[in-house]
Structures are given as structure tokens and as C-alpha cells.
Structure 1
Amino acid sequence: MTRTPVALPHSFLDRPIAHRALHDVTDGRPENSRAAIRAAMDAGYGIEIDLQMSRDGQAMVFHDFHLGRLTDENGPIRQRDAAALASIPLKGGDEGVPDFAEVLSLVDGRVPLLVELKDQHGAMGPHDGVMEQAVARALQNYSGDVAVMSFNPHSVAAFGRFNDTVPLGLTTEAFRQKDNPLLPAATRRRLRDIPDYDQVGASFISHDVNDLKNPAVTKLKARGVPVLCWTVKSPAQEKTAREIADNITFERYLA
């Protein structure tokens, strides 16, 4: 059964959204870190974060499937328990990987929080629902503005089965082969047309800033669907993006 869409709060449209929070490792603020989250809140920005799963079923605020780029450890994040991940320092900072529940307590409704569920299997296929259920459980008593999205429509739909009050969105792009080398061509062709929007009960999309003229985006915008975009990296790019997008997710400058 299709989930009834929940409207995206206006707070996601009235201020820029800091991509992976307001990160800057030169200032001790790694991406998706508590320090970057505090900086974004202090500046009044919305915040976008990413969630991966720990071995013991906890949602962790971390972008990559592997630990190597963002920490001095190696291997998949899913092979470590939450307590172990909390003790692994993020490069460029002095803190470990935060869990989602802690970040919710830190934000506490001060600014809107855009949550991306990362694809756990790399193929945009069905999920077992463990991460989605963990995220829904963490959000159960959260009263601030929050929205959940994913590139994987199966993940969005799975979360929607555990929570019927949080707005859902699809993270979307052109799904070019060079950017998604593991995805079959048929899957890439299908996803670029955003065919799952209504089926998953979505109420917004967040689309690649370099593909905003995609006809699928044009059709959704004509329906009044809020269009966010990722990732804007300069004032000039922001100016162009806002000709189409209702709001931006940004990094590397202050929007």
C-alpha cells in the first residue's frame, strides 16, 4: 500500500542546508561530526547528515561504506560495533563517529535535519529493514523538523513502513555509469526517471545540482514538488541552481 505523503516543513526551504553539516577539517570540523553540526546550528543553517549501520544494528552518522577516507582505520563500517566506532577518531577532529540518537539530542529541534539513508548493499535493491527500523526507533520521540531520504527507493519505502509521520524524499541524479559503476545499466536508466516518487509516498526530492534540467525533475516541479539539490560548492553555482531548485545543500563556502 502506498504511504500517504507527509508535507515537507517550510523550514527545509527557508534557509540553506549544510551538506554533512558545516564541515571544515582546517578548523577541526570533519564532515558529519558533532563539531560540524554545532557550527551549522550556530550559523542558523539546516543540516544534512548521512547514516550507515553498525554491526550491532545502530544507525551511525557517517557517509562512507568504508572507514578509510574519514578515519585512520580500514574496512567496512558495518564490521564494527557502535561502541567501537565511537572510539575511532575522525580525521581532522578530536571525536569519534557519532550515533544518530546522540545527534538527535544535540540538534534537539534547533534547525531542520535532513537525513540520508545510505544504500547498504550497493545495488539499490531491497533492504532487510534493520537500519530503517533503527532510524525510525531513534526518531520516535523526536519533535524537531526532520526528513528522511535515500538514493534507494526500497530503503525509503522500508523506513515508511516503520514511520508514518516523517516526510520522505528521494535523493536523485542522472545515474551515469562513471558515477555508479556497480549499477546495471537498466537500473541506472530506471532510477534517472524517478519512477518511484509516488509509490514510496515521497513529498520532495534532492537532485544533483548538475542535472537539474532532467525532464523528470521538470515534471515533478510542475506538480509543485519541492526540489532540493546537492551539492552546491560556490555562490555562482548557487545562483544558477536557484533558478530551478527551491533550496540548496552546500559545502566549501558560506551560503
Structure 2
Amino acid sequence: MGKNLGSKLIVAGALAAGAAVWAIKPRSFSDKQRNFVPAIADVWYAHRGLHDAGSGLEPQYAAESGEYVALARRMAMKAGYGTADFAGSIAPENSLAAFAAACEAGYGIELDLQLTRDGQVVVVHDEDLLRVAGDPRKIADLTYDELTRIPLFPAPAKPGDAAAAPLSDPVEKAKTAPSGYYQHVPLFSDVLRVVAGRAPLIVEYKFADNAAWNARCDELMEKGDQLLQAYDGAYVIESFHPGAVNWYKEHRPEVCRGQLAEPISLSSGDIKGWLAGLLAFDWISRPDFVAFDWHGGPTPQLKATRWMGAVPVSWTVRSRSELEECDPYFDYHIFEAFVPDEQY
């Protein structure tokens, strides 16, 4: 009886291990060859562009972010955005100025795609504008025309700020465009025009719910890809939503595709998030690379998928000490808030 039970447990364990390996297996080498899939470019990737206000500029990174903000402003001005005497943000995150600055500095770019209410593909990270513009309204509820009148990080925001101050009456303020220099949420087509092949792109498709799929999701995929097909420059795509990465598997197998993920504790109660962090849904997307939270470098699932051929990309590294800690586990890095040294 004991021997039979032990044998069954061994077989069950072997089957579970086999299923886990099958689930996280990346795209095969033969599939890559057959579809002439390009490799992800070997550069540093500036998170949401090289920016002087926005993501990553929190107090805990202040010791190094000053150099980063100064570089972002200098490169943005070199590209023709803003002036040295402008006291506000010249190149806020995910703006044309931030992307131009990254190009001038020689970095690749990571950026985020969403749809406006009128079906325009724009580049913005959050579901709403509260953090980046002080406006609580959602991107999906605004037209692109409305977005052009909403400045990113308006006064009293200053260089190095991580968040904008809430506006007292955002609807009224957005009725007319403000005077003077400002950046707003850009069209993806305008971003592609500004980058113009000068920097490789990591293009993330963003969704409010990474476990659901609807007609708006299809619309974003189709319109975003249509713009990329007309673009003459290097790019790869990624998403937290395995359905979005699968869309490229089914429709554009020649594009290098990546699965975004982060390790989530089972104690959080988010079962789907926990499974996604284990890369358990990679069987849907069969990615070429895995963009993983830099804290998760040592996790068994990332080590296993790397061993099977997936390229590991870290997000988002915000200091030299974080880089030193995670560098052994990743081939490429998405960074912000510090200026990477050549040694890394």
C-alpha cells in the first residue's frame, strides 16, 4: 500500500512538473527561424521616455535622480523642446519631449498604448490622468482633442516631481488650451514620427482588466499594429494581458513579443495574479521575452523560462544598487530615475 502510494505521488509530481514546464515554455527556436523574428535590441530602455517629471522620481531615489532629471532636460532642449529658463517640466513621462530626449541620449524607449473615447491610439500609462495631470478623468472617457488641452505636470509641478497636484476644476480648465509651453498625452502616430527609427521601442498594450477581452481590446490591437506596420524602425511588443501577446502570436508571428509579469504572493488573494506571476499563462502567449519585475530575478519560474530560451528583461530599475542586485538575472533593463553607467 505504502509503495503504491509513493509511486503515485512520484508520478503525480512528475506530471505536475511537466505541466509547469509546458505552461511557461517560450516560443520555440524553430518558430523564430521560420518567421524571421528579430532579437530584442541590446540597449538600455528608458521607461516612458527620458523624463524630468513622473514615474520613479520618488524621494527614495533622490540621491541619483537629480542627474537623471538634468540629463532629460538637457536632451529635450537639444531636441528643440523647452528652454533653460522654463521652471516647469519640459519632458514629462510619456511625452513627445521625453521620447525625443531618449533618442538624443542614445537610449531605447519603453512606452504604453491606450485608446481614447474617440478611438485614437495614444501613449499614456495610467487609466486616468490624476497622477500625471491632476485630472481624475479616465483616458477612455476623453477624446484626443480634449487631451491636447490638458497639460502634463502643469504648474506648480516642477522638474523632479513624481506626481501632479490635483486640479480644482479640471473640466473647466480643459475647455481652452493653456498659454505657453506644455506637453500633453500624444498620439502614437506622432511618437513614431518623432522617434523615426532612431531608437528601438518596447511597445506595451495596456488594458484595464488583464483577465477580460472585448471589442475595445481588439480595436486597440488592430489600430496599434496598423501604425507599427507602417513604421520603419525597430520595435518589440509586450503586455501583461496574455491575450494581447497571443494576438501577435496569431496575427503577426514575425514580431518579437514579450509577456509582462510580476511575482505576487498567494496570500494577497489574487489567484489569477499569482498564477500570472508564475508565468502560468505563457502557454497562451508563447513569448520571445519575459519582462519581469526586477525584484523577481531569482524566482524559479524566471530562471526556468530563461533556460528554455526566453530573454529576461527587467522592469523598472531605478538606482545603481537595484541594478547591481538584479543584473545577474536579466539580459536587458528598463530603467528610470538614474543614469546607467557603461560598466552595467
TM-score under structure 2 length normalisation:
0.67
2:256 alignment partner, one of 167, 185, 207: 167
- Residue in 2 that maps onto 1:144: 233
- Look up the SS of the partner of 2:258 in the other structure: strand
- Residue in 1 that maps onto 2:203: 115
Write the letter of the residue equivalent to 2:205: L
Measure how far apart 1:103 and its partner are.
0.7
Measure how far apart 1:58 and its partner are.
1.7
**Alpha-carbon distance in structure 1 between the residues aligned to 2:92 and 2:264:** 27
CA 70–219 in structure 1, closer or farther in 2 if over 3 Å, else same: same
1:55 alignment partner, one of 107, 114, 117: 117
- Residue in 1 that maps onto 2:174: none
User: Across the two proteins, how many residue pairs are aligned to each other?
Assistant: 247
- Residue in 1 that maps onto 2:49: 21
CA 143–9 in structure 1, closer or farther in 2 if over 3 Å, else same: farther
**Alpha-carbon distance in structure 1 between the residues aligned to 2:138 and 2:265:** 25
Whether 1:223 and 2:301 are equivalent positions in the alignment is no
2:272 alignment partner, one of 187, 194, 198: 187
TM-score under structure 1 length normalisation:
0.89
- Look up the SS of the partner of 2:147 in the other structure: helix
- Look up the SS of the partner of 1:50 in the other structure: strand
* Structure 1, gaps ≥5 residues long: none
> Could you report, residue by residue, the CA deviation over 1:18-46 in whole angstroms, capped at 9, with x for unpaired residues?
01111112642111111111111111011
Write the letter of the residue equivalent to 2:238: M
Measure how far apart 1:198 and its partner are.
4.2
2:39 alignment partner, one of 2, 5, 9: 9
**Alpha-carbon distance in structure 2 between the residues aligned to 1:220 and 1:127:** 29
**Alpha-carbon distance in structure 2 between the residues aligned to 1:166 and 1:104:** 17
What is the CA RMSD across the aligned residues, in angstroms? 2.2
Segment drifting more, 47-56 vs 157-166: 157-166
CA 151–71 in structure 1, closer or farther in 2 if over 3 Å, else same: same
Query: What is the percentage of aligned positions where both structures have the same residue?
Result: 30
CA 60–141 in structure 1, closer or farther in 2 if over 3 Å, else same: same
1:245 alignment partner, one of 322, 326, 330: 330
**Alpha-carbon distance in structure 2 between the residues aligned to 1:228 and 1:10:** 10
Between Structure 1 and Structure 2, the one with more helix by share is: 2
- Tell me if the contact between 1:50 and 1:118 (Cα under 8 Å) persists in the aligned partners: yes
2:193 alignment partner, one of 98, 105, 121: 105
**Alpha-carbon distance in structure 2 between the residues aligned to 1:127 and 1:107:** 31
**Alpha-carbon distance in structure 2 between the residues aligned to 1:97 and 1:86:** 7
- Residue in 1 that maps onto 2:108: 46
Whether 1:68 and 2:134 are equivalent positions in the alignment is no
- Tell me if the contact between 1:172 and 1:205 (Cα under 8 Å) persists in the aligned partners: yes
- Residue in 1 that maps onto 2:211: 124
Write the letter of the residue equivalent to 1:89: P
Whether 1:210 and 2:295 are equivalent positions in the alignment is yes
Write the letter of the residue equivalent to 1:9: A
> Could you report, residue by residue, the CA deviation over 1:187-239 in whole angstroms, capped at 9, with x for unpaired residues?
12221111233432411011000111121101011112110000101112112
CA 173–36 in structure 1, closer or farther in 2 if over 3 Å, else same: same
Write the letter of the residue equivalent to 1:195: A
Structure number with greater Rg is 2
Measure how far apart 1:126 and its partner are.
2.4
CA 62–176 in structure 1, closer or farther in 2 if over 3 Å, else same: farther
Write the letter of the residue equivalent to 1:48: E
- Look up the SS of the partner of 2:136 in the other structure: coil
